[in-house]
Structure formats: structure tokens, C-alpha cells
Amino acid sequence: MEKFRFLTSGESHGKCLTAIIEGLPANLEIDIDFINAELKRRQGGYGRGGRMKIESDTVEIMSGVRFGKTLGSPVTLVIKNNDFENWQKIMSTNPKDITSEKAFTTYRPGHADYAGSVKYHQKDLRNILERSSARKTAIEVAVGAVAKLFLKQFGITGSSKVLQIGNGKNEEEFHAEIDKAKAEGDTLGGKVQIEYENLPVGLGSYVHWDRKLDGRIAQAVMSVPAVKSVSIGNHHAYKMRGSEYHDEIFAEDGKITRKTNNAGGIEGGMSNGENIVVTAVMKPIPTLVKPLQSVDCVTCLPSEAHFERSDTCAVEACAVVAEARIACVLANEILLKYGGDCMEELLKNFRLQ
């Protein structure tokens, strides 16, 4: 039961990244500057690698929009990979161009290399790296930006922040942790928080397991590369008592209010009108300058893991990607609940509630 559907394609060093979004209503204003600003946010953050200096991501809209508004038809987004210029032969689709340049055969621990090479029967691990790389999160952020533009029409907005990087708990400490890890040829992960405000009550449902909003959000955020845990609301719930954790309900002028939001805005798989608060843990970046021990997939002999230009830490970018993922889930829920072929119809249904 998906209304906001999208597919993405594209390799890390291929020509471009593409997304087709299906299910957007007609007459949604598409602010391309906003999409590009979101792409810029994803490229930022302390501890990023050389790739971010090469790419300055901007989106091109190839279909589904006319004079700044959606037509109700599928919207196609494209982001060009500037680095493709240097990889044209290596990433060629033409069998005549076959080359072993940039091929590698030593699995990188923490990456898709080993399982991917077995699954897809590949000996050049480049064929695994190219799609498993987090480069594809650029187009996912572009799709999320369109979802955010849609949500904005209903007054729903999102933001995110970094809670922790290594042992650092504030910006100064984040930078110090990253500098230290980098100097030692090492990497870092961290913890982020994403918050969405102004939600209507009743997005998602308790009536069936796959309609629970918390389940859908958890899946969406867990699928961000390197995210290893997702929690909704107070992530210290495991050590709290019921009397302390559950958010008591009050009424003010006939309106339901809460003094706390430990539930993170979701009860019984539905939005309860409070802010949706999600935290996620990102593991340390798996590509290390000081390589980890591994095995060569051709010789089966011990070998040092392949190194390729990489981030030391991408926790800030991870927060932006997670924010985009949640936007897509919420856009889908708004479409399911309020229905309609055009923005006017959806907003009318929304105001009627």
C-alpha cells in the first residue's frame, strides 16, 4: 500500500544518479533551489573525504513538472556525477571498453564486498562497490527534498542534529575526535536525532503490522548505509519505569496536551500529534587508511583491505539522509490518509478533519 513510490538507479562513478517518483499529486510547487540546498547539506559536515570536493550536486528535473508545478505524472530527477569524466572508460557500458583498471579483489570488512561478490558472482569487487557505495544517498536526499516540499504544504517540517561522534558530545569535541581519528588513519561513527513537527494525529495504524508508522520509519532509517540502530522517542526506555516513561494526557480548552514526549510522537503505530523524534546510530566508516586484515577473493590469501578515497566521518550527512528517508514515509502516510489527485483536493481533505 504505497502511494509515494520511487525507484533510484546509478553507480558511484557512473554517469548519473536517477530517481522516478510516482504518486505525487498535481499542482505541488517544486522549488529546485530547495532541493539543491538539501543536496548541499548532505555533502557537508566535518570529516568528509575528497569526493565531496569533486562533486557539487545539483538536480535536473527531467519529467513530471511544468512551470514549477507537478503534473501528477511521474517526476524524474537526475544528478550528474562530475567524477564520471575521470571514469568514462572504467564505467563504460560498452563491452569493447573492458579493462582491469581500478579493479580490486580484496574484500573491505564492513562493506558489501564479500557477501555481494558471492551473491552476484563477481570477482572484480568494483562491481559491488559501485552500487553499494553511499553515493546513491545523494539522489535519495533529492527525493526526500521533494517529499519535504509536499509536507510543508501541510505545515509539517523536519530537522536533525548530531548527538554524539565517538566520545564527543559537542561541536568542538566532534572536531577533535575526527581530527584524532584521521591522524591515526582511523574512522568514526556517531548518533543522530531527527525530529518532525506539526503532524496530524493518526498517520499510520495499529490494525496491521505493516501499517505501523514506527515500523515504517525504522525500516526507512535502518536502510541508510551504516545505520545500525534506530529508536523512536526516549532511547533510555529500557531502564525507565512505566510511571516515568509514559506521557500523561491532559486537556486544555478541549485540546489534548502532554508535558513529556518519551513516546517520540507515536503510540500504537500512529502519530499522536506530538513531534516525531527518531535517533539512529551510525557505525564507524568501514574504509580505513590504516587497512584492516582481509582476504583476496581470487587467491584466497591474506591481504590488506582495499582503500579508496573515503570519509573519516559522515555522521552529519547521515542525519540529512535519515531526515530525507523519514520525509518519504510521512509523505506516503499523508497521501494515504487524505487522498486526492491534486494539492487542492488533498488540502481540502486535510482541512476537513
Binding site for ligand FMN (CB under 6 A): 49, 110-112, 132-134, 137, 224-226, 283, 285-287, 310-311, 314, 317-318, 321
Q: What are the CA-CA distances from residue 302 to residues 71, 105, 293 (Å)?
A: 56, 11, 7
DSSP symbols for 27-46? T-B--HHHHHHHHHHHH-ST
State which residue, 199 or 313, has the beta carbon closest to ligand FMN.
313
State which residue, 235 or 325, has the beta carbon closest to ligand FMN.
325
State which residue, 106 or 234, has the beta carbon closest to ligand FMN.
106
Distance from CA of residue 120 to its chain's centroid?
25
Minimum Å gap between C-beta 163 and ligand FMN is 16
56, 82 in Cβ contact below 8 A? yes
Minimum Å gap between C-beta 315 and ligand FMN is 9
Q: At what angle do helices 315-338 and 213-222 cross, to 10 degrees?
A: 150
State which residue, 61 or 317, has the beta carbon closest to ligand FMN.
317
Q: What are the CA-CA distances from residue 122 to residues 103, 104, 200 (Å)?
A: 11, 11, 48
State which residue, 61 or 322, has the beta carbon closest to ligand FMN.
322
Minimum Å gap between C-beta 127 and ligand FMN is 14
Rounded CA-CA distance 325/329 in Å is 7
Minimum Å gap between C-beta 312 and ligand FMN is 8
Minimum Å gap between C-beta 298 and ligand FMN is 22
State which residue, 177 or 333, has the beta carbon closest to ligand FMN.
177
Residues 6+ positions from 202 with CB-CB distance below 8 Å: 270, 271, 337
Which of 208, 223, 218, 163 has the alpha carbon at shortest distance from 336? 208
Minimum Å gap between C-beta 229 and ligand FMN is 12
**What residue number has its CB nearest to ligand FMN?**
287
Q: What are the CA-CA distances from residue 210 to residues 178, 218, 283 (Å)?
A: 39, 12, 27
